[in-house]
Amino acid sequence: MVKVAIFASGSGTNFENIMQRVTAGELPNIEVTALYTDQAEAECIQRAQPFNLDVHITELKDYATKADYERAMLKQLEREGVEWIILAGYMKLISATILDAYESRILNIHPSLLPKYKGVDAIGQAFTSGDKETGTTVHYVDSGMDTGQIIEQRQCPIYEDDTKADLEQRVKSLEYELYPKVIAEIIQ
Ligand code: GRF
């Protein structure tokens, strides 16, 4: 079994989807040790409950520097023997402290066809772009914002009568299929 930690900051639907797959036996090589979040009020915390999963809340405001904050997380990761980190809507850049310890062992999913629409509100950027398609990307994490090596992408159309919520739902449906598939392939 490979021990992984999932990092999330928000609603946590990708986190929940991965946990459902793990529970259903679809990711047989993977053991999720805990949910790590930087937001004490995040919805993802409630989503961890049915899985009886540990949740570690580490807030940047409680530390003097980002490095101190990451050192606290790293201590916990090492205590649990975590080998891979899966980012699922974690809204901070991973800095040198964690990156050096987990080089080439951190995955992220981003809701656009990278290198297009990096950063926040990628769905909104695609929605207002006039593009006829968008999608999602799973990539390795490096020190940049959504700049790591691309592993796999999935496309979907943008229809003229879409609302932004329609588009978000369409992209998320792709994510719920793509992310577990890539995780199963990459993390062995
Ligand atoms: C996803 O769209 C993912 O691509 C991005 O953040 C979003 C997280 O959504 N990194 P959720 O919290 O999993 O619902």
What's the 5 CA to ligand 1 centre distance in angstroms? 16
- Render pLDDT for 157-177 as a digit per residue (tens, 0 to 9): 999 999 999 999 999 999 999
Is residue 183 in some structural domain?
A: no
Q: Output the six-digit token pair for 18.
A: 């991965």
Partnered with residue 30 across adjacent β-strands are 2
Q: How many residues does the chain have?
A: 188
Res 126 pLDDT > 90: yes
Amino acid at residue number 127: F
- Render pLDDT for 4-45 as a digit per residue (tens, 0 to 9): 999 999 999 999 999 999 999 999 999 999 999 999 999 999
What is the pTM for the complete model shown?
A: 0.97
Residue where a domain terminates, one of 84, 103, 122: 103
Q: Which residue has the higher pLDDT, 77 or 188?
A: 77
Identify the pLDDT of residue 188.
80
Q: Which domain holds residue 133?
A: 111-178
The total domain count for the chain is: 2
Q: What is the dihedral of CA 164, 165, 171, 174, to 10 degrees?
A: -160
Is residue 126 in some structural domain?
A: yes
Beta carbons of 111 and 136 less than 8 angstroms apart: yes
* Whether residues 5 and 56 fall in one domain: yes
Mean pLDDT of the chain: 98
* Whether residues 1 and 92 fall in one domain: yes
- Tell me the torsion sign for CA atoms 62, 141, 32, 39: positive
91 secondary structure, DSSP code: -
Is residue 137 in some structural domain?
A: yes
Beta carbons of 44 and 18 less than 8 angstroms apart: no
What's the 97 CA to ligand 1 centre distance in angstroms? 24
* Whether residues 52 and 13 fall in one domain: yes
Q: Domain of 94: which CATH number?
A: 3.40.50.170
